Chains A and B, each alone.
Chain A
Amino acid sequence: MGDKNQALDLERDYKYGFITDIETDTVPKGLSEDVIRLISAKKNEPEWMLEYRLKAYRHWLTMEEPAWANVRYPKIDFNDIIYYSAPKKRGEGPKSLDELDPELLRTFEKLGIPLSEQKRISGVAVDAVFDSVSVGTTHKETLEKHGVVFCSISEAMREHEGLVRKYLGSVVPVSDNFYAALNAAVFTDGSFVYIPKGVRCPIDLSTYFRINASETGQFERTLVVADEGSFVNYLEGCTAPQRDENQLHAAVVELIALDDAEIKYSTVQNWYTGDKEGRGGIYNFVTKRGKCQGRNSRISWTQVESGSAITWKYPSCLLLGENSQGAFYSVALTHDHMQADTGTKMIHVGRNTRSTIISKGISTGHSRNSYRGQVKIMPSAAGARNYSQCDSMLVGDSCSASTYPYIEVKNDTAVLEHEATTSRISEDQLFYLRSRGLDTEQAISILVQGFCKDVFKQLPLEFSVEAVKLIEMKLENSVG
């Protein structure tokens, strides 16, 4: 028994908490027009991109940090952040994975993403983002054959300027919110995906994010465009090294689905949560939004949020096209002193638009877990339909769970249902499972998996397995 406890203790500490020592090419701390010009110059960006960034920056200066979320944290000093950090390139830059910094490759191995292995066997293309610049992309050839573009957004700006210029900021405009404006001003890299007309992307696309280099805020920008009749499954997973200073992560993800196109976007988020006393950890202030622009288009967000000291994230769908569909499936687990304020927005504009929201929150320890969502039916959205279900589970008596759904209906043909429950794992259920020989931890794990089942089944298989393991591991630590 003693050995087992020890094993649990080892796991409790952040599994991926290590810092890779490689030279980074950084700009000085702080934010100014000069820093933005420098970032833009370092990335060889076209003039319009610089203008875009400066416009965002000037707008950002006029904005105030939002304070409405149910989270508390010390004020962020935006001039104490390094806004650019890129791994140094050897000569012309890597032509293949073999040319990458071996240190970097070892980091990925430790993270469980052996690029070289995955390339061969897994069938998953990986655009690994190390700090802020993409360093390796696999499966390029397979994708190229189908005309699928999957590359870093910097590369896309050079190779597919027309597409980037057309769609960047079309879903999340620079003035959208404080962190989105900041991101538009300073983003250094991210992924770009374009699926051409009628193409069903042959493999799942996946990006692993990794924060490295002390004091570097990470400002990722992801843009996914699914042209008419296309389909893509996009996976995003995160881990980050352990350190004391809080780190800001303000990413923006934009999805665009044209006529009959479908985008499935899945995230497993496991950033560093801070230590037992709530020191350190990542501030995850992310803007994610999808636009169902075309008729019959579909976008679904599936997320497993189990990390970060603070999560502030509302993956949303703008349902413009007739018969378009949006979905949001979420499991948010908070433990120790974590705070999560997460949910979704479904804005129904087109006729017969449909949306589904399934949100499962689990709070343990001293954490706060809030669902905040909005369903808005505009006058034009005749026949719109929404179903929302938000369930919370509390484990222990020092945590909290809150639900703040905003439902606004301006069309009488719409049908909306919203349901929320709060409960805890019942003694009866535990007793039943224990009487059949399971120990308490196994029993809790089974019950929690049942609670989250509706969300997990939306995840692609390998992600689903990972998510279950992650939740199990986290619960082992938090349930006494």
Chain B
Amino acid sequence: MGNAVDSLRQIYAELQAHRALPALAGTPLAWLEREREAALADWSARELPTRKDEAWKYTSLRDVAESEILDAAGADARTLSALEAAGLRPRSSGSRTAANLVFVNGRFVPQWSVFPETPGVHVLPLSAALRAEGAPVRSALTGLREIFASAAHKGAETPFAAMNASLFRDAALIVAEGSVELEAPVFLNFIHTGAFPGSGRLTASFPRVIVLAGARSSLRVIESHGGADGAGYLTAGVTDLHLGEGARLSHVRMQREGDESFHFGTTRSWQSRGSRLESLQISLGAKLSRQDLKVRLAEAGAEATVDGLYLTRGRQHADHHTAIEHAVGDTTSSQLYKGILGGESRAVFNGRVWIAKDAQRSSSSQLNNNLLLSPRAEVDTKPELEIFADDVKAGHGATIGRLDPEHLFYFKSRAIPEQMAVAMLAEGFAQDVVTRLSSEALREALLPPVRAAVRGLKVEAT
């Protein structure tokens, strides 16, 4: 039986000894070094949280805590050919793609990536960006530092986000200059390899994404995480979204990790005046996954639509935590999280909306709908509101239930077999989080995989 924190501490020490982490940049960056060390002090001083911690009340990390963690393999030729053989190499999604970056175990793979020059938009690995010159890259780094420094995001950081800050190898960097509009989505593919199942070992990767949407820019990003079934690995990703004045950003995080993996993702969005975020988190894979999404509506007129969809089966466990901070008045947030659960799976939703004192005329809504397909599935939902201003509109709702027997009867009376009826009803239930997306390109890219995943679900009799 291993100890995750101990082995991660060891990985960090070895990487530092071989100067493998600073080598990321090619140049020593004192401030980045300090960030890595500060984050290390944060996560390495304590054990992983247990179910006694309120934020982890419904999600046990015991399987992770007792595993030995290994540094994931690099993106060498052998790893790549193995991935290719396993059919895990991501294919370009056709003509409607602005760029497609591929990272294996957190390292950039140039030979699998396509990032054509687009005026005003820079899509590149951070390692390359740091070597390059030019104003946008510099401002990207300043923005990055700002996000690092922001107290709101540091507050209740998960240990996995802190681990990422210490251990990330590379990052996908997307910078949209002011007033640039890009309709075609940018694809970011993160592929992970793992240890043999049953070995009690997990390999760890720390994917990182930074999006800087300049003033009045408009951008769409699909971030996808995947790996082979049966492989034991842990992903601790961090995505930072920085929205300038009036910027519009659609961000999708699609989680399709292998069935023996553990996935932890933190997404942070910092929003300026009049900016608008459209976020969608889709969780389909992993043995255990946890998404933490934090939004700071920092200036008036900022708006966030934060949606999610989770489909779980077998013994899968999917946990979604959201925290929306209305730091000032005249800000708007809306959340819709939907889940369909089968087998003995378990889903957790914890949505927190925080409206600061004097954040008058804030408006917030939140809804969590769950559909249970099996008598052994479990849902734990906790929509929280904390309100310190009086002139606000805030509400939340949650529902949990089965498919309506009358709806099923309607299908049956028209000679549609039950399994098909269930698939159609579940599809209808699931897809409206996708059809809510404003971009047609995103809807087109996401509907097929979502439909396929819903059709794979089975109803079990009570």
B-binding residues in A (CB < 8 A): 68, 379, 382, 392, 394-424
When A392-B387, A412-B372 are in contact, do A397 and B357 touch as well, CB less than 8 Å? yes
In the complex, 22 of the A-B residue pairs with CB atoms within 8 angstroms, ordered by the A residue number, are: A392-B387, A397-B391, A400-B357, A400-B387, A405-B398, A407-B379, A407-B380, A407-B381, A408-B380, A409-B378, A409-B379, A411-B375, A412-B377, A416-B398, A418-B398, A419-B395, A420-B385, A420-B397, A422-B385, A422-B393, A423-B392, A424-B392
Contact A422 B387 (CB under 8 A): yes
Closest Cβ of chain B: how far from A376's Cβ, in Å?
Answer: 9
Q: Which 4 A-B pairs have the closest CB atoms?
A: A412-B372, A394-B390, A422-B394, A421-B395
When A404-B384, A408-B380 are in contact, do A422 and B395 touch as well, CB less than 8 Å? yes
User: How long is the Cα–Cα vector from A417 to B395 in the complex, in angstroms?
Assistant: 14
Closest Cβ of chain B: how far from A420's Cβ, in Å?
Answer: 5
Tell me which of B375, B382, B383 contacts A412 (CB under 8 A).
Answer: B375
Chain A residues contacting B377 (CB-CB under 8 Å) are: 412
Assess whether B399 is interfacial by the CB under 8 Å rule. Answer: yes
Identify which of residues 355-408 in chain B touch chain A, using a CB-to-CB cut-off of 8 Å: 357-358, 360, 370, 372-402
Closest Cβ of chain B: how far from A401's Cβ, in Å?
Answer: 5
Which residue of A is nearest B366, CB measured?
A420
Of the listed residues A395, A397, A404, A412, the one surrounded by the most CB atoms of chain B closer than 10 A to its CB is: A412
User: How long is the Cα–Cα vector from A424 to B392 in the complex, in angstroms?
Assistant: 7
Which residue of B is nearest A408, CB measured?
B380
When A418-B383, A423-B393 are in contact, do A413 and B388 touch as well, CB less than 8 Å? no
Which residue of B is nearest A368, CB measured?
B388
Chain B residues contacting A408 (CB-CB under 8 Å) are: 58, 378-380
Contact B397 A417 (CB under 8 A): yes
Chain B residues contacting A419 (CB-CB under 8 Å) are: 395-397
Chain A residues contacting B54 (CB-CB under 8 Å) are: 68
Contact A409 B390 (CB under 8 A): no
Contact A407 B397 (CB under 8 A): no
Q: Mark B257-299, 1 if CB is under 8 A from A, else 0.
A: 0000000000000000000000000000000000000000000
Which residue of B is nearest A424, CB measured?
B390
Contact B397 A418 (CB under 8 A): yes
Contact A412 B462 (CB under 8 A): yes
When A402-B386, A407-B379, A408-B378 are in contact, do A415 and B400 touch as well, CB less than 8 Å? yes
When A403-B385, A412-B377 are in contact, do A417 and B399 touch as well, CB less than 8 Å? yes
Tell me which of A382, A394, A407, A415 contacts B462 (CB under 8 A).
Answer: A382
Closest Cβ of chain A: how far from B175's Cβ, in Å?
Answer: 38
Closest Cβ of chain A: how far from B204's Cβ, in Å?
Answer: 31
Which residue of A is nearest B404, CB measured?
A415
Chain B residues contacting A397 (CB-CB under 8 Å) are: 357-358, 360, 389-391
User: How long is the Cα–Cα vector from A200 to B139 in the complex, in angstroms?
Assistant: 77
Contact A403 B384 (CB under 8 A): yes
When A398-B357, A399-B390 are in contact, do A413 and B402 touch as well, CB less than 8 Å? yes
Contact B374 A402 (CB under 8 A): no
Which residue of A is nearest B389, CB measured?
A397
Please name 4 further chain A to chain B contacts, defined as beta carbons within 8 Å, in addition to the given A409-B400, A420-B385, sorted by A numbering: A394-B390, A403-B385, A408-B378, A412-B462
User: How long is the Cα–Cα vector from A408 to B58 in the complex, in angstroms?
Assistant: 9
Chain B residues contacting A421 (CB-CB under 8 Å) are: 394-395
Contact A401 B385 (CB under 8 A): yes
Which residue of A is nearest B397, CB measured?
A419
User: How long is the Cα–Cα vector from A398 to B377 in the complex, in angstroms?
Assistant: 42
Closest Cβ of chain A: how far from B28's Cβ, in Å?
Answer: 44
Chain B residues contacting A398 (CB-CB under 8 Å) are: 357
Chain A residues contacting B394 (CB-CB under 8 Å) are: 421-422
User: How long is the Cα–Cα vector from A380 to B459 in the complex, in angstroms?
Assistant: 19
Tell me which of B379, B382, B388 contacts A400 (CB under 8 A).
Answer: B388
Which residue of B is nearest A413, CB measured?
B462
Chain A residues contacting B462 (CB-CB under 8 Å) are: 382, 412-413
Which residue of B is nearest A400, CB measured?
B388
When A394-B387, A412-B372, A412-B462 are in contact, do A406 and B382 touch as well, CB less than 8 Å? yes
User: How long is the Cα–Cα vector from A408 to B373 in the complex, in angstroms?
Assistant: 16
Chain B residues contacting A414 (CB-CB under 8 Å) are: 400-401
Chain B residues contacting A407 (CB-CB under 8 Å) are: 379-382, 398, 400
User: How long is the Cα–Cα vector from A105 to B400 in the complex, in angstroms?
Assistant: 54
Contact B374 A412 (CB under 8 A): yes
Tell me which of B378, B396, B399 contacts A410 (CB under 8 A).
Answer: B378
Contact A416 B400 (CB under 8 A): yes
Chain A residues contacting B396 (CB-CB under 8 Å) are: 403, 418-420
When A399-B390, A422-B387 are in contact, do A409 and B382 touch as well, CB less than 8 Å? no
Which residue of A is nearest B372, CB measured?
A412
Chain B residues contacting A422 (CB-CB under 8 Å) are: 385, 387, 392-395
User: How long is the Cα–Cα vector from A265 to B58 in the complex, in angstroms?
Assistant: 33
User: How long is the Cα–Cα vector from A423 to B393 in the complex, in angstroms?
Assistant: 6
User: How long is the Cα–Cα vector from A414 to B54 in the complex, in angstroms?
Assistant: 25
Chain B residues contacting A394 (CB-CB under 8 Å) are: 387, 389-390, 392
Contact B378 A396 (CB under 8 A): no
User: How long is the Cα–Cα vector from A400 to B392 in the complex, in angstroms?
Assistant: 12
Q: Mark B124-153, 1 if CB is under 8 A from A, else 0.
A: 000000000000000000000000000000
Contact A415 B391 (CB under 8 A): no
Chain B residues contacting A410 (CB-CB under 8 Å) are: 378
Chain A residues contacting B374 (CB-CB under 8 Å) are: 412
Of the listed residues A68, A401, A414, A422, the one surrounded by the most CB atoms of chain B closer than 10 A to its CB is: A422
Which residue of B is nearest A388, CB measured?
B398
Chain A residues contacting B357 (CB-CB under 8 Å) are: 397-398, 400
Chain A residues contacting B402 (CB-CB under 8 Å) are: 412-413, 415
Closest Cβ of chain A: how far from B408's Cβ, in Å?
Answer: 14
Chain A residues contacting B385 (CB-CB under 8 Å) are: 392, 401-403, 420, 422
Contact B399 A395 (CB under 8 A): no
User: How long is the Cα–Cα vector from A422 to B384 in the complex, in angstroms?
Assistant: 12
Chain B residues contacting A416 (CB-CB under 8 Å) are: 398-401
Closest Cβ of chain A: how far from B145's Cβ, in Å?
Answer: 33
Contact A409 B387 (CB under 8 A): no
Closest Cβ of chain A: how far from B3's Cβ, in Å?
Answer: 27
User: How long is the Cα–Cα vector from A387 to B384 in the complex, in angstroms?
Assistant: 17
Tell me which of B58, B383, B389, B400 contacts A405 (CB under 8 A).
Answer: B383
Closest Cβ of chain B: how far from A197's Cβ, in Å?
Answer: 35
User: How long is the Cα–Cα vector from A395 to B392 in the complex, in angstroms?
Assistant: 11
Which residue of A is nearest B354, CB measured?
A402
User: How long is the Cα–Cα vector from A402 to B360 in the complex, in angstroms?
Assistant: 16
Contact B380 A401 (CB under 8 A): no
User: How long is the Cα–Cα vector from A414 to B341 in the complex, in angstroms?
Assistant: 14
Chain A residues contacting B401 (CB-CB under 8 Å) are: 414-416
User: How long is the Cα–Cα vector from A439 to B390 in the complex, in angstroms?
Assistant: 22
Closest Cβ of chain A: how far from B304's Cβ, in Å?
Answer: 18
Chain B residues contacting A402 (CB-CB under 8 Å) are: 384-387
Closest Cβ of chain B: how far from A68's Cβ, in Å?
Answer: 7
User: How long is the Cα–Cα vector from A423 to B363 in the complex, in angstroms?
Assistant: 10
Of the listed residues B396, B398, B400, B402, the one surrounded by the most CB atoms of chain A closer than 10 A to its CB is: B400
User: How long is the Cα–Cα vector from A409 to B348 in the complex, in angstroms?
Assistant: 10
Which residue of B is nearest A396, CB measured?
B390
User: How long is the Cα–Cα vector from A399 to B372 in the complex, in angstroms?
Assistant: 39
Chain A residues contacting B372 (CB-CB under 8 Å) are: 409, 412
Chain A residues contacting B378 (CB-CB under 8 Å) are: 408-410
Which residue of B is nearest A426, CB measured?
B391
User: How long is the Cα–Cα vector from A401 to B357 in the complex, in angstroms?
Assistant: 11
Contact A395 B390 (CB under 8 A): yes
Which residue of B is nearest A419, CB measured?
B397
Closest Cβ of chain A: how far from B422's Cβ, in Å?
Answer: 13
Of the listed residues B373, B389, B392, B402, the one surrounded by the most CB atoms of chain A closer than 10 A to its CB is: B389
Chain A residues contacting B397 (CB-CB under 8 Å) are: 417-420
Chain B residues contacting A409 (CB-CB under 8 Å) are: 370, 372, 378-380, 400
Closest Cβ of chain B: how far from A385's Cβ, in Å?
Answer: 10
Chain B residues contacting A406 (CB-CB under 8 Å) are: 380, 382
Chain B residues contacting A413 (CB-CB under 8 Å) are: 375, 402, 462
Which residue of A is nearest B401, CB measured?
A415
Contact B383 A420 (CB under 8 A): yes
Chain A residues contacting B379 (CB-CB under 8 Å) are: 407-409
